[in-house]
Amino acid sequence: MLSATDLVVRLGSVTAVDGVTLSVERGEMVALVGPNGAGKTTLVKALAGLVRPASGTIAVEGRLAYVPEGRHLFYDLSVEDNLSLGAWRGRDRNPKRIYEVLPGLAGLARRRAGTLSGGQQQMVAVGRALMADPEILMVDELSLGLAPIVVSDLADHLASLHQRHGLALLLIEQNARLAFDLCSRAYVLENGHIVASGSSAELERSEQVRRAYLGVGSTPSKVRSREGDSSESARRDGSA
Protein backbone atom coordinates (compact mmCIF):
# COMPACT_ATOMS: atom_id res chain seq x y z
CA MET A 1 0.00 0.00 0.00
CA LEU A 2 3.06 2.22 0.28
CA SER A 3 5.93 1.61 -2.05
CA ALA A 4 8.95 3.47 -3.31
CA THR A 5 10.99 2.39 -6.31
CA ASP A 6 14.53 3.55 -7.06
CA LEU A 7 13.95 6.68 -5.04
CA VAL A 8 16.63 9.36 -5.22
CA VAL A 9 16.34 12.50 -3.08
CA ARG A 10 18.86 15.30 -3.22
CA LEU A 11 19.28 18.01 -0.62
CA GLY A 12 21.25 20.66 -2.42
CA SER A 13 24.33 18.95 -3.79
CA VAL A 14 24.11 16.04 -1.34
CA THR A 15 22.31 12.88 -2.38
CA ALA A 16 20.59 11.94 0.86
CA VAL A 17 18.58 9.02 -0.49
CA ASP A 18 20.16 7.07 -3.31
CA GLY A 19 18.12 4.47 -5.13
CA VAL A 20 15.91 3.18 -2.33
CA THR A 21 13.22 0.60 -3.02
CA LEU A 22 10.90 -0.40 -0.21
CA SER A 23 7.28 -1.29 0.44
CA VAL A 24 4.80 -1.58 3.27
CA GLU A 25 1.79 -3.85 2.75
CA ARG A 26 -1.69 -3.34 4.14
CA GLY A 27 -1.79 -3.91 7.88
CA GLU A 28 1.94 -4.53 8.11
CA MET A 29 4.39 -3.12 10.66
CA VAL A 30 7.73 -2.33 9.09
CA ALA A 31 10.80 -0.70 10.57
CA LEU A 32 13.42 1.46 8.94
CA VAL A 33 16.60 1.49 10.98
CA GLY A 34 19.93 3.09 10.43
CA PRO A 35 22.42 5.45 12.01
CA ASN A 36 21.94 9.16 12.41
CA GLY A 37 22.34 10.87 9.06
CA ALA A 38 21.65 7.78 6.97
CA GLY A 39 18.90 9.64 5.17
CA LYS A 40 15.96 8.14 7.06
CA THR A 41 14.21 11.43 7.77
CA THR A 42 14.72 12.65 4.21
CA LEU A 43 13.29 9.38 2.97
CA VAL A 44 10.11 9.67 5.06
CA LYS A 45 9.70 13.31 4.14
CA ALA A 46 9.76 12.24 0.53
CA LEU A 47 7.28 9.45 1.23
CA ALA A 48 5.05 11.98 3.01
CA GLY A 49 5.19 14.25 -0.02
CA LEU A 50 7.03 17.05 1.76
CA VAL A 51 10.22 16.75 -0.30
CA ARG A 52 10.21 16.25 -4.04
CA PRO A 53 12.40 13.35 -5.11
CA ALA A 54 14.94 13.84 -7.87
CA SER A 55 13.93 10.54 -9.47
CA GLY A 56 12.10 7.31 -8.74
CA THR A 57 8.45 6.72 -7.95
CA ILE A 58 6.32 6.67 -4.83
CA ALA A 59 2.95 4.93 -4.78
CA VAL A 60 0.53 5.38 -1.88
CA GLU A 61 -2.84 3.64 -1.68
CA GLY A 62 -5.06 4.98 1.05
CA ARG A 63 -4.59 7.75 3.55
CA LEU A 64 -1.13 8.30 4.94
CA ALA A 65 -0.18 10.27 8.03
CA TYR A 66 3.18 11.20 9.39
CA VAL A 67 4.59 11.89 12.85
CA PRO A 68 7.71 13.96 12.21
CA GLU A 69 10.94 13.65 14.09
CA GLY A 70 11.01 16.06 17.01
CA ARG A 71 7.21 15.93 17.24
CA HIS A 72 6.65 19.40 15.81
CA LEU A 73 3.47 20.29 17.64
CA PHE A 74 1.78 23.67 17.50
CA TYR A 75 3.23 24.60 20.85
CA ASP A 76 1.11 27.68 21.53
CA LEU A 77 -2.15 25.88 20.81
CA SER A 78 -4.07 23.58 23.11
CA VAL A 79 -3.85 19.82 22.81
CA GLU A 80 -7.41 19.80 21.53
CA ASP A 81 -6.59 22.30 18.79
CA ASN A 82 -3.46 20.38 17.86
CA LEU A 83 -5.52 17.25 17.45
CA SER A 84 -8.32 18.85 15.49
CA LEU A 85 -5.83 20.48 13.10
CA GLY A 86 -4.62 16.98 12.31
CA ALA A 87 -7.88 16.53 10.44
CA TRP A 88 -7.19 19.51 8.15
CA ARG A 89 -7.69 17.41 5.05
CA GLY A 90 -10.24 15.10 6.62
CA ARG A 91 -13.84 15.59 7.63
CA ASP A 92 -14.21 14.69 11.27
CA ARG A 93 -12.48 17.38 13.33
CA ASN A 94 -13.73 16.17 16.68
CA PRO A 95 -10.81 14.75 18.66
CA LYS A 96 -13.10 12.55 20.79
CA ARG A 97 -12.26 9.43 18.85
CA ILE A 98 -8.59 9.94 19.64
CA TYR A 99 -9.31 10.07 23.36
CA GLU A 100 -10.75 6.57 23.04
CA VAL A 101 -7.56 5.25 21.45
CA LEU A 102 -5.15 7.32 23.54
CA PRO A 103 -7.05 7.86 26.80
CA GLY A 104 -4.12 9.72 28.34
CA LEU A 105 -4.85 12.69 26.08
CA ALA A 106 -8.41 13.31 27.29
CA GLY A 107 -7.24 14.87 30.53
CA LEU A 108 -4.75 17.10 28.73
CA ALA A 109 -7.21 18.50 26.18
CA ARG A 110 -7.10 22.07 27.43
CA ARG A 111 -3.39 22.21 28.19
CA ARG A 112 -1.08 24.15 25.90
CA ALA A 113 1.00 21.70 23.93
CA GLY A 114 4.21 23.53 24.81
CA THR A 115 3.72 22.85 28.52
CA LEU A 116 3.56 19.05 28.18
CA SER A 117 6.32 16.57 28.93
CA GLY A 118 8.20 14.95 26.06
CA GLY A 119 6.23 11.71 26.29
CA GLN A 120 2.92 13.54 26.39
CA GLN A 121 3.97 15.62 23.40
CA GLN A 122 4.87 12.49 21.47
CA MET A 123 1.45 11.10 22.27
CA VAL A 124 -0.20 14.29 21.00
CA ALA A 125 1.89 14.03 17.84
CA VAL A 126 0.71 10.47 17.28
CA GLY A 127 -2.86 11.49 18.07
CA ARG A 128 -2.70 14.39 15.65
CA ALA A 129 -1.53 12.08 12.89
CA LEU A 130 -4.34 9.64 13.73
CA MET A 131 -6.89 12.44 13.30
CA ALA A 132 -6.36 12.10 9.55
CA ASP A 133 -7.86 8.57 9.86
CA PRO A 134 -4.80 7.08 8.21
CA GLU A 135 -4.53 3.57 6.90
CA ILE A 136 -0.78 3.87 7.08
CA LEU A 137 1.17 5.79 9.69
CA MET A 138 4.82 6.76 9.51
CA VAL A 139 6.46 7.56 12.82
CA ASP A 140 9.90 9.17 12.72
CA GLU A 141 11.98 8.52 15.84
CA LEU A 142 9.29 7.57 18.30
CA SER A 143 11.83 6.95 21.05
CA LEU A 144 14.02 10.01 20.61
CA GLY A 145 14.74 11.73 23.90
CA LEU A 146 12.16 9.76 25.85
CA ALA A 147 12.52 7.58 28.92
CA PRO A 148 12.36 3.81 28.18
CA ILE A 149 9.15 3.39 30.15
CA VAL A 150 7.44 6.15 28.19
CA VAL A 151 8.66 4.61 24.94
CA SER A 152 7.31 1.18 25.80
CA ASP A 153 3.95 2.71 26.69
CA LEU A 154 3.80 4.52 23.33
CA ALA A 155 4.93 1.37 21.55
CA ASP A 156 2.12 -0.57 23.21
CA HIS A 157 -0.37 1.98 21.94
CA LEU A 158 0.96 1.70 18.39
CA ALA A 159 0.92 -2.10 18.56
CA SER A 160 -2.69 -2.14 19.72
CA LEU A 161 -3.70 0.31 16.98
CA HIS A 162 -2.09 -2.06 14.54
CA GLN A 163 -3.83 -5.10 15.96
CA ARG A 164 -7.27 -3.63 16.55
CA HIS A 165 -7.62 -1.27 13.60
CA GLY A 166 -5.34 -2.92 11.09
CA LEU A 167 -3.22 0.23 10.84
CA ALA A 168 -0.11 -0.22 8.74
CA LEU A 169 3.00 1.28 10.31
CA LEU A 170 6.38 2.40 9.07
CA LEU A 171 8.57 3.00 12.08
CA ILE A 172 11.74 4.98 11.56
CA GLU A 173 14.05 4.18 14.43
CA GLN A 174 17.61 4.58 15.57
CA ASN A 175 16.79 2.20 18.37
CA ALA A 176 17.01 -1.06 16.43
CA ARG A 177 16.11 -3.22 19.44
CA LEU A 178 12.75 -1.45 19.78
CA ALA A 179 12.17 -1.58 16.03
CA PHE A 180 12.82 -5.32 15.74
CA ASP A 181 10.68 -6.07 18.79
CA LEU A 182 7.74 -4.11 17.40
CA CYS A 183 7.88 -4.84 13.70
CA SER A 184 7.80 -8.01 11.70
CA ARG A 185 10.00 -6.75 8.92
CA ALA A 186 12.75 -4.14 8.63
CA TYR A 187 15.02 -2.26 6.26
CA VAL A 188 18.48 -1.04 7.18
CA LEU A 189 19.45 2.29 5.61
CA GLU A 190 23.05 3.50 5.53
CA ASN A 191 24.38 6.45 3.55
CA GLY A 192 21.19 6.65 1.56
CA HIS A 193 21.25 2.98 0.50
CA ILE A 194 19.26 0.01 1.78
CA VAL A 195 22.07 -2.26 2.94
CA ALA A 196 19.94 -5.03 4.44
CA SER A 197 16.32 -6.04 4.63
CA GLY A 198 14.24 -8.98 5.75
CA SER A 199 12.20 -10.20 8.68
CA SER A 200 13.15 -8.82 12.05
CA ALA A 201 14.15 -12.28 13.19
CA GLU A 202 16.51 -12.74 10.25
CA LEU A 203 18.07 -9.37 10.72
CA GLU A 204 18.53 -9.95 14.41
CA ARG A 205 20.49 -13.07 13.59
CA SER A 206 22.68 -11.32 11.04
CA GLU A 207 26.18 -10.80 12.35
CA GLN A 208 26.55 -7.45 10.63
CA VAL A 209 23.31 -6.03 12.01
CA ARG A 210 23.98 -7.38 15.47
CA ARG A 211 27.35 -5.72 15.58
CA ALA A 212 26.24 -2.34 14.22
CA TYR A 213 22.83 -1.90 15.75
CA LEU A 214 22.32 -4.22 18.68
CA GLY A 215 25.66 -3.66 20.36
CA VAL A 216 26.35 -7.39 20.38
CA GLY A 217 29.76 -8.84 19.61
CA SER A 218 31.47 -5.53 19.18
CA THR A 219 33.83 -3.56 21.32
CA PRO A 220 32.60 -0.24 22.67
CA SER A 221 35.37 1.67 20.92
CA LYS A 222 34.17 0.43 17.55
CA VAL A 223 30.68 1.59 18.24
CA ARG A 224 31.96 4.99 19.17
CA SER A 225 33.97 5.40 16.00
CA ARG A 226 30.93 4.47 13.96
CA GLU A 227 28.89 7.10 15.75
CA GLY A 228 31.58 9.63 14.97
CA ASP A 229 31.28 8.89 11.28
CA SER A 230 27.55 9.11 11.23
CA SER A 231 27.31 12.39 13.05
CA GLU A 232 29.52 13.87 10.40
CA SER A 233 27.32 12.67 7.61
CA ALA A 234 24.35 14.01 9.53
CA ARG A 235 25.83 17.43 9.35
CA ARG A 236 26.29 17.04 5.65
CA ASP A 237 22.75 16.21 4.80
CA GLY A 238 21.40 18.75 7.24
CA SER A 239 18.56 16.58 8.45
CA ALA A 240 19.93 16.25 11.96
Partner 1 sequence: MSALVEYLISGVAIGCGFALVGSGFVAIFRVTEVINFAQGTFAVVAGFVAYSGLTSAGAPQGVAEALGVLAAGALGLAFGGAAIGRKHTSPLASLVITLGLAVTAYAGEIAIWGDQPISFSGLQGDFVLAGAHLLRQYLLVIGVALLVLLGLGVFFTRTYLGKGMTACASNRFAAEVVGISVRRMGLLSFALGGLLGGFAGVLLIPIQPLSFNSDIDLAISGFAAAIFGGLRSFEMALVGGLVLGVAESLVGGYVQASYETVVALGGMLLLMLWQARRRVELA
Partner 2 sequence: MILLLAAASFLLPLWLSSANLTVYILLGLYAVTAIGLSLLMGLAGQVSLGQAVFFAIGAYTAAVLSLHGLSTVVALVLAPLLAAAVAAVVGVPILRLRGHHLAFATLAFQLIVLSVITNTPFLGGGLGFTAVPGLGIGKATLSSSLGYAWLTWGLTVVVMVVTLNLIRSRPGRALRALATSEAAAESVGVPVVRYKLAVFALSAAYAGVAGGIYVFFIGYASPGSFPVELSVELVVMVVIFGLGSVWGALFGAAGISVLMQVLNQVGTLHGMPQYMPTLLSYAAYGLILVVIVMFLPAGVLPGLRRLWARRPGGREDPMSRQIAPPIASLRSLLRSTRPKTTRADGTPSPEQTRRQ
Interacting residue ranges for partner 2, rule: CB under 8 A: 9-13, 50-54, 238
> Is 162:29 a contact under the CB 8 Å cutoff?
yes
Name the strands in the sheet holding 64-67, side by side, starting at the edge strand that comes first in the sequence: 64-67, 136-140, 168-173, 29-33, 185-190, 193-199
3-state secondary structure at position 211? helix
DSSP bridge partners of 199: 185
Site string for partner 1, 114-133 (x = CB under 8 A): --------------x---x-
Contact residue for partner 1 among 34, 35, 37, 86 (CB under 8 A): 86
Report if residue 96 touches partner 1, rule: CB under 8 A. no
Size of the site for partner 1 (CB under 8 A): 19
| CA separation for the pair 197, 199 (Å, rounded) | 7
| CA separation for the pair 110, 57 (Å, rounded) | 42
| CA separation for the pair 34, 44 (Å, rounded) | 13
Least distance from partner 1 to the Cβ atom of residue 216, Å:
36
| Nearer Cβ to partner 2 (14/159) | 14
Strand 14-24 to 2-11 pairing: antiparallel
Least distance from partner 1 to the Cβ atom of residue 75, Å:
6
DSSP 8-state code for residue 115:
G
Report if residue 88 touches partner 1, rule: CB under 8 A. yes
| Nearer Cβ to partner 2 (53/127) | 53
Nearest Cα residue to 95 out of 75, 62, 124: 124
Least distance from partner 1 to the Cβ atom of residue 6, Å:
25
Report if residue 81 touches partner 1, rule: CB under 8 A. yes
54 binds, among partner 2, partner 1, none (CB under 5 to 8 A by kind): partner 2
| Nearer Cβ to partner 1 (50/201) | 50
Least distance from partner 1 to the Cβ atom of residue 211, Å:
35
| CA separation for the pair 98, 204 (Å, rounded) | 34
> Is 142:155 a contact under the CB 8 Å cutoff?
yes
Report if residue 50 touches partner 1, rule: CB under 8 A. yes
13 binds, among partner 1, partner 2, none (CB under 5 to 8 A by kind): partner 2
- Binding residues vs partner 1 (CB under 8 A): 48, 50, 66, 68, 72-77, 81, 84-86, 88-89, 93, 128, 132
